[in-house]
Structure 1
Amino acid sequence: MVFPQRLYLHALLVACCCVLLLADAQRTHPSEVTALRSVKRSLLDPKDYLRNWNRGDPCRSNWTGVICFNEIGTDDYLHVRELLLMNMNLSGTLSPELQKLAHLEILDFMWNNISGSIPNEIGQISSLVLLLLNGNKLSGTLPSELGYLSNLNRFQIDENNITGPIPKSFSNLKKVKHLHFNNNSLTGQIPVELSNLTNIFHVLLDNNKLSGNLPPQLSALPNLQILQLDNNNFSGSDIPASYGNFSNILKLSLRNCSLKGALPDFSKIRHLKYLDLSWNELTGPIPSSNFSKDVTTINLSNNILNGSIPQSFSDLPLLQMLLLKNNMLSGSVPDSLWKNISFPKKARLLLDLRNNSLSRVQGDLTPPQNVTLRLDGNLICTNGSISNANLFCESKGKEWISLPNNSTNSALDCPPLACPTPDFYEYSPASPLRCFCAAPLRIGYRLKSPSFSYFPPYIDQFGEYVTDFLQMEPYQLWIDSYQWEKGPRLRMYLKLFPKVNETYTRTFNESEVLRIRGIFASWRFPGSDLFGPYELLNFTLQGPYSYVNFNSERKGVSWRRLAAITAGAVVTAVAISAVVAALLLRRYSKHEREISRRRSSSKASLLNSGIRGFSFKELAEATDDFSSSTLVGRGGYGKVYRGVLSDNTVAAIKRADEGSLQGEKEFLNEIELLSRLHHRNLVSLIGYCDEESEQMLVYEFMSNGTLRDWLSGSNSQ
């Protein structure tokens, strides 16, 4: 019987349609697609990093920088979880449409050239955890609406041109741990309301134009570890006495802030490591009470301090810098400053006491070689009280810390040119296997506020800190170079090498690259008393890693949920198909047969005429994925690319814009018409592509320019 066969086929058809509808539901929410397209329109992308944002679905087509949740939401759509556009040379502005990314957790535009103001609409993305806008050219004021981001953990806008006050509404950021607002032009007083941020760890406000009084209430913050306010103008303000009562502060830096008054007693701060109050107008003596035994740096230079050097400075085993120059200190210099210290490996100590009124040395003036003592500008250098004054009283004009540029290959005696592709492969310098050649991952990394002044004693500890959390062996990390920058901040260039194993694998696999990069980019490293907050400057993928796509992780729908929904769809399809099959088949079967006959006839006719049907993949490969370097023209219909087909034929590939697409019937009719046109002055049609929502025509390539060029004379010889 014919009809039961049709009914069976229809049931199968409906079931397939349900599954296709399910697959269609595995797409990004339409409002988020709209938002991403708006983001792209607002940006200038000179290196064409976002070229694949013109087609397909963001979550299913691996749009550059777009990371989605791994399951569809309750609304049967995929949602964007992370927008990672760091270090892509982007300019332009930030689109207010970002607010439509309602499930976004990470917004990362670091190290671009984006200008304009921060849209206040970003304050509506309540799911946001990381807001990373540092290293751009943003201007304008901070929107008070950003105080609505109740889940925000890290807020970075440093190294921009942002002006105006810090909104009081930021006191609502109850979960925030990091406020990095340094290197802008912020004005006004630090809001007292920030003392409500009980979870805050790091407050970096240095290099702004802040003024007014320092809020004493900040000292009550229970978890604050770093308060860095250098180079602001708190003119006439005293340092609040309560600043000696911070419970967990590790680093307090108030350099060049126009502060007056006396020094607080810092002896109650149990784990203070770094204190910089230089370049102020502080008066009175230095408190004689003991500092924390963890302190590495004390900088009180360029003030108006008087009295003597406290004996308590002689009992600081980890001290690297004691800077007291350009004050009014008098009395003696105790030799216990260097005698009582048992220097650890690679340790150095700088004692800069220049330009005071110190008159003598108490004890033996023979500091060890790893101590640099500067006494010029004191009475001690002119009154004849020391015989070797020339060693300590003459400025030699050299830095006390030398910062070597380590080279991964300099210390290795390995055969030259034995590594393949030297630009990408090199010898792993610390590998247990001698002359092990591998391709490292290259990482730009910066410590934003370290709690030390001299890095070599902490290099091994830093290596363990990084490799332990990455679950790697210490020899896999190599610090290729490092240098101090203003702040002070410590910039590094790291290399991570693959682990030596039985197969001598020279590269990391893709999943390992994604794992490592995810840890760096998501700030998942544990907090460190010494190394403080860090920032990722770049994560370079080249050579054998250039194929890695960060968007390939966390995509699609979980198989368990997909199987359950698919099974339900099939059962439902079979149940309803018996009811609707007869009506649908009677009404549409004749019509569908006619359409099918016409389509088959059209395509068969084209094939018989020598017109070739190309797949989208073939034409994408021919044009280097429709790279801008292969673009040769543009018209009202779309863009034209120069491509090289698989048989080495050079072709002009005309790709229709989305707004120029036709129905399949009209498109095939047009191709059939063009296939009949033959003239020695007309380029011939080679073939076409009609798949993946694309319509393309493939012509012979005219290598000597366009008809317009010849008519206008621009191609005349």
Structure 2
Amino acid sequence: MLPTAKCSSGVQMLTLLLEIIKMKGMRFCGLFYAVLYGYLVLFAVAEITDPSEVSALVAVVSRLIDPMNYLGNWNKGDPCLSKWTGVLCFDTIDETDGHLHVQDLHLLNMNLSGSLAPELGQLSRLRILDFMWNNLTGSIPKEIGNLSSLVLLLLNGNRLSGSLPEELGKLSNLNRLQVDENNISGTIPKSFANLTSVRHFHLNNNSIAGQLPPELSNLPRLLHLLVDNNKLTGYLPPEYSELPTLHILQLDNNNFSGTEIPATYGNFSSLSKLSLRHCSLQGAVPDLSRIPGLYYLDLSGNQLTGPIPSNKLSDDMTTIDLSENSLNGSIPASFSDLPSLQRLSLDNNFLDGSIPASIWQNMSLSSSARLSLDLRNNNFSSVLGDLDPPNNVTLRLAGNPICTSANIPNIDQFCDSEAVDNETITKSNNSECPIHACPTDSFYEYVPESGDLCTCAAPLRVGYRLKSPSFSYFDPYANLFEAYVTNSLNISIYQLSVDSIAWEKGPRLRMYLKLFPHANSSTFNTSEVQRIRDIFTSWRFPGDELFGPYELLNFTLLGPYASINPETQRTGISKGVLAAILVAAIASAVVISAAVTFLMTRRHARNQRSLSRRRMSTKVSMKIDGVKGFKFKELASATDNFNRSTQVGQGGYGKVYKGILSDNTVVAIKRAEEGSLQGQKEFLTEIKLLSRLHHRNLVSLLGYCDEEEEQMLVYEFMPNGTLRDWLSENETYIQVNVARESGLMFSIIDNRMGSYPSECIERFVALALNCCHDKTEQRPSMSDVVRELETVLKMMPETDATFSESTSMHSGSKSTSAPASSSFMTRDQYFSSYVSGSDLVSDAIPIIPPR
């Protein structure tokens, strides 16, 4: 289905063009047809993205500070067709509305600051919202909860504050919620239990407080629950053990004071990592031997007591950290039968007995295998077996009675070592390759794993971090990791080099990856760069309980890739869709062209009728002393063809323009709009009414125009705004009313107006206030205003009041005199000449500051 909805917008544009042509007095010609047709085709194409989503994107960028100008093209063209940076659209037109819709918003690591706009909630089809690693502040808009299609909400690595909106619980399709490393406070909303599709909750490193909602145990697909480094209190919900798919439960550095670890936690069916470090937990270590795939256990830094359970843990176990507790008893014999063990930390407890040498004697002979045993500050007095661990085992015994025994040779080397065992890997280029064989710049390197020695290529450089790995040493799993990444990216194993790694607080494993092009090429092409980046940013790596969740830190494009902006290379729209857009645009233009012809024909016919009317009818006008009958051309020239820049007011009847006549007289011209035109007799009767009063404090009516189907009144121009505006201002209105009610009106009247009877002033003020009512129907009619002013003027001294009854009806003549005739309008430095009680002027509202 073609996007025919564009036609209505095109007609609106056409109408605007016709109005401009009408104002400028232009004539139609063949060239106009061609130009208009071309513009309409472009117009139809330009509206291809849903207008409400375009408006939302404009609002989003208005809230952002973009010092690097990454979003500089967000004001150019259509978001989908012009490929705005970070905006990815669906590649098909929606048949229901004829528009393309925004699919993803990728604004990763762009140094953006500012805040998130509530208008994000208008991107109704959005699947990925990615603002990771920027400097955003403010709160998370609750309107994001309206994005029912959202799959990835990625806001980590900013400075967002406030609480998590309850409305996020409506995101029924959400797979991943990442708000870690912000300043989020408040509690975790219970509404999050409604996120039945969610697999990843990454809420770590914030200030989230309160109780963990037990209701989260109802989430059927949850894999990772990371809420470490927050301010949680309360208890550990025992119901969490019922989560059928949970792999990682990481709640380190919270304060569950006085809480015990539920015994039910031994019933987890799929848990690979349990980390409850420094949580103020008490009680016993639970028996976790029934968890079949447990890799990693960290219960350090609590107040746990009693012995360590003796039942054998999973064969996959890599890490056991029970340090800094109050445990007693001996090391379980089952710890000697853990083939994958990498780290056993039991330091700073009250353990005693003998240390079983079988823990390291059964150690794998693999060159990559490593084992760290930290048994410091306990009560161990002997070793069961020979104290001769292999080189790949680190043993620490300081602070135990065994270190004072003279009967154990070489004991000192294990009692004096306090060094922390860190793991780092840094790879260098193949030393067998000749120096300078690659291009001299640093962007080309030897491919480390290439079967063809000394192959040069330019790698993609990727900053990558494992957020919660289930191991303590990477080297034994390096080959598995390389296979995992290359399979996910659909590249060969030799194309990946893990350039360096470093353990960070968490623990988290930061690494730099280098991805090399295929052996037949020295660089990746643009589409391949985009494909690889999309896999990283869309989290399309399969889940892995060993490596855990990952995050993309950066995707660096240097050297031959420097000119590629991956966010603007997303075409998103297929050639077929572009063809459909073009066809739709042409179809729209054809329809609009027909509308052009119709409107032009109707306009021409109307002009002919009007011309005929002007030529053939005898127009009745009147001659009034001091009131001039103006030609339409005179007033059009005075206002630059009624240019908007000359407009100074607007009301329900029409618009008010400031004009300069040929003799340099400045005037205010009230022009009635088509829907407000009176009959000719009624219009001339109103002019007669307006001309009946003359007074030095009433503004002069200078003339009128009643030709070319126009009705206009011309007044002396006064520069300081309208009577209604002045009296409607709160302070002024109160001041007038107080003075009126207290009988002190003369205290607020400008003495330049002269001295008048108090009854005159009272009646005049009452009339002025009535003329300023907000609702038109509450204002007095023109005849009522004139009668009241006549009454007031009759009460004044004769020298002040002048009445004119010298009006006579005649055919085809007009007055050319322009002395100071007056309407009933107030005249002094505070009141504008285009305000009165008449329907013609009383509802005029300035749209620009008074001049």
Q: Equivalent residues in 2 for 1:92-107 (5 A)? A: 92-107=114-129
Q: Equivalent residues in 2 for 1:219-298 (5 A)? A: 219-298=241-320
Number of the residue aligned with 1:198: 220
Contact 2:161–2:182 under 8 Å retained in 1 = yes
Distance in 2 (alpha carbons) for counterparts of 1:485 and 1:194? 29
Q: Write the letter of the residue equivalent to 2:565.
A: N
Deviation string for 1:471-526 (max 9, x for gaps)?
2111111111110000000000111011112xxx2110011001100000100001
Q: Write the letter of the residue equivalent to 1:101.
A: L
Q: 1:60 aligns with which of 74, 81, 106?
A: 81
Q: 1:422 aligns with which of 428, 431, 441?
A: 441
Q: Write the letter of the residue equivalent to 1:413.
A: E
Q: Equivalent residues in 2 for 1:291-330 (5 A)? A: 291-330=313-352
Number of the residue aligned with 2:171: 149
Q: Does 1:437 align with 2:459?
A: no
- TM-score where L is the length of structure 1: 0.76
SS at the partner of 2:480? helix
Distance in 2 (alpha carbons) for counterparts of 1:10 and 1:41? 37
How far residue 402 of structure 1 moved from its aligned partner, in angstroms, is 3.5
Contact 1:70–1:554 under 8 Å retained in 2 = no
Q: Does 1:123 align with 2:139?
A: no
Q: 1:36 aligns with which of 57, 67, 70?
A: 57
Q: 1:382 aligns with which of 392, 404, 418?
A: 404
Number of the residue aligned with 2:479: 460
How far residue 28 of structure 1 moved from its aligned partner, in angstroms, is 1.5
**Does the C-alpha gap of structure 1 residues 46 and 553 become closer, same or farther in structure 2, counting only changes over 3 Å?**
closer
Distance in 2 (alpha carbons) for counterparts of 1:233 and 1:114? 28
Q: Does 1:348 align with 2:349?
A: no
Q: 2:91 aligns with which of 70, 73, 91?
A: 70
Contact 2:109–2:133 under 8 Å retained in 1 = yes
**Does the C-alpha gap of structure 1 residues 447 and 573 become closer, same or farther in structure 2, counting only changes over 3 Å?**
closer
Distance in 2 (alpha carbons) for counterparts of 1:403 and 1:579? 73
Q: Does 1:335 align with 2:357?
A: yes
Number of the residue aligned with 2:553: 537
How far residue 587 of structure 1 moved from its aligned partner, in angstroms, is 7.2
Number of the residue aligned with 1:398: 419
Give RMSD over aligned pairs: 2.9
**Does the C-alpha gap of structure 1 residues 168 and 571 become closer, same or farther in structure 2, counting only changes over 3 Å?**
closer
Deviation string for 1:445-469 (max 9, x for gaps)?
0000000000111111111111112
Contact 1:11–1:573 under 8 Å retained in 2 = no
**Does the C-alpha gap of structure 1 residues 79 and 577 become closer, same or farther in structure 2, counting only changes over 3 Å?**
closer
SS at the partner of 1:252? strand
Q: Write the letter of the residue equivalent to 1:485.
A: E
Q: Does 1:473 align with 2:492?
A: yes
Q: Write the letter of the residue equivalent to 2:503.
A: W
**Does the C-alpha gap of structure 1 residues 10 and 96 become closer, same or farther in structure 2, counting only changes over 3 Å?**
closer
Q: Give 5+ residue unaligned stretches, structure 2.
A: 1-29, 608-643, 646-851
SS at the partner of 1:256? coil
**Does the C-alpha gap of structure 1 residues 308 and 33 become closer, same or farther in structure 2, counting only changes over 3 Å?**
same
Q: Write the letter of the residue equivalent to 2:92.
A: E
Q: 1:137 aligns with which of 144, 159, 177?
A: 159
Q: Write the letter of the residue equivalent to 1:528.
A: D
Q: Does 1:48 align with 2:69?
A: yes
Q: 1:108 aligns with which of 122, 130, 150?
A: 130
Q: 2:517 aligns with which of 491, 495, 498?
A: 498
Distance in 2 (alpha carbons) for counterparts of 1:313 and 1:164? 41
Contact 1:10–1:577 under 8 Å retained in 2 = no
Q: Does 1:520 align with 2:536?
A: yes
Distance in 1 (alpha carbons) for counterparts of 2:202 and 2:513? 23
Q: Equivalent residues in 2 for 1:484-633 (5 A)? A: 484-501=503-520, 505-552=521-568, 555=571, 557-560=573-576
Q: Write the letter of the residue equivalent to 2:73.
A: N
**Does the C-alpha gap of structure 1 residues 272 and 586 become closer, same or farther in structure 2, counting only changes over 3 Å?**
closer
Distance in 2 (alpha carbons) for counterparts of 1:142 and 1:579? 52
Contact 2:159–2:182 under 8 Å retained in 1 = yes
Deviation string for 1:644-671 (max 9, x for gaps)?
xxxxxxxxxxxxxxx99xxxxxxxxxxx
Contact 2:91–2:577 under 8 Å retained in 1 = no
Distance in 2 (alpha carbons) for counterparts of 1:579 and 1:119? 44
Q: Percent identity?
A: 62
Distance in 1 (alpha carbons) for counterparts of 2:126 and 2:85? 16
Number of the residue aligned with 2:22: none
Number of the residue aligned with 1:603: none
Query: How many residues of Structure 1 are paired with residues of Structure 2 in the alignment?
Result: 580
Distance in 1 (alpha carbons) for counterparts of 2:319 and 2:114? 42
Distance in 1 (alpha carbons) for counterparts of 2:408 and 2:381? 10
**Does the C-alpha gap of structure 1 residues 573 and 429 become closer, same or farther in structure 2, counting only changes over 3 Å?**
closer
Contact 1:69–1:555 under 8 Å retained in 2 = no
Distance in 1 (alpha carbons) for counterparts of 2:130 and 2:335? 44
Deviation string for 1:407-464 (max 9, x for gaps)?
3x2x433333343352322222222222211111010000000000001111111111
SS at the partner of 1:138? coil
Number of the residue aligned with 2:232: 210
**Does the C-alpha gap of structure 1 residues 17 and 296 become closer, same or farther in structure 2, counting only changes over 3 Å?**
same
Contact 1:39–1:97 under 8 Å retained in 2 = yes
Distance in 2 (alpha carbons) for counterparts of 1:487 and 1:157? 16
SS at the partner of 2:344? strand
Deviation string for 1:78-132 (max 9, x for gaps)?
2111111111111111111111111111111100111111111111111111000
How far residue 398 of structure 1 moved from its aligned partner, in angstroms, is 2.2
Between structure 1 and structure 2, the one with the greater Rg is 2
Which deviates the most, 278-287 or 434-443?
434-443
Q: Write the letter of the residue equivalent to 1:32.
A: E
How far residue 284 of structure 1 moved from its aligned partner, in angstroms, is 0.4
Q: Write the letter of the residue equivalent to 1:133.
A: L
Distance in 2 (alpha carbons) for counterparts of 1:30 and 1:571? 20
Distance in 2 (alpha carbons) for counterparts of 1:331 and 1:115? 55
Number of the residue aligned with 2:204: 182
**Does the C-alpha gap of structure 1 residues 582 and 166 become closer, same or farther in structure 2, counting only changes over 3 Å?**
closer
**Does the C-alpha gap of structure 1 residues 576 and 206 become closer, same or farther in structure 2, counting only changes over 3 Å?**
closer
How far residue 17 of structure 1 moved from its aligned partner, in angstroms, is 8.2
Distance in 2 (alpha carbons) for counterparts of 1:372 and 1:251? 23
Contact 2:214–2:239 under 8 Å retained in 1 = yes
Deviation string for 1:588-610 (max 9, x for gaps)?
89x9xxxxxxxxxxxxxxxxxxx
Number of the residue aligned with 2:468: 449
Distance in 1 (alpha carbons) for counterparts of 2:275 and 2:447? 39
How far residue 583 of structure 1 moved from its aligned partner, in angstroms, is 8.5
Distance in 1 (alpha carbons) for counterparts of 2:471 and 2:543? 16
**Does the C-alpha gap of structure 1 residues 106 and 568 become closer, same or farther in structure 2, counting only changes over 3 Å?**
closer
SS at the partner of 1:550? coil
Which deviates the most, 580-589 or 166-175?
580-589
How far residue 341 of structure 1 moved from its aligned partner, in angstroms, is 2.7
SS at the partner of 1:404? strand
Distance in 2 (alpha carbons) for counterparts of 1:218 and 1:152? 20
Q: Write the letter of the residue equivalent to 1:520.
A: F
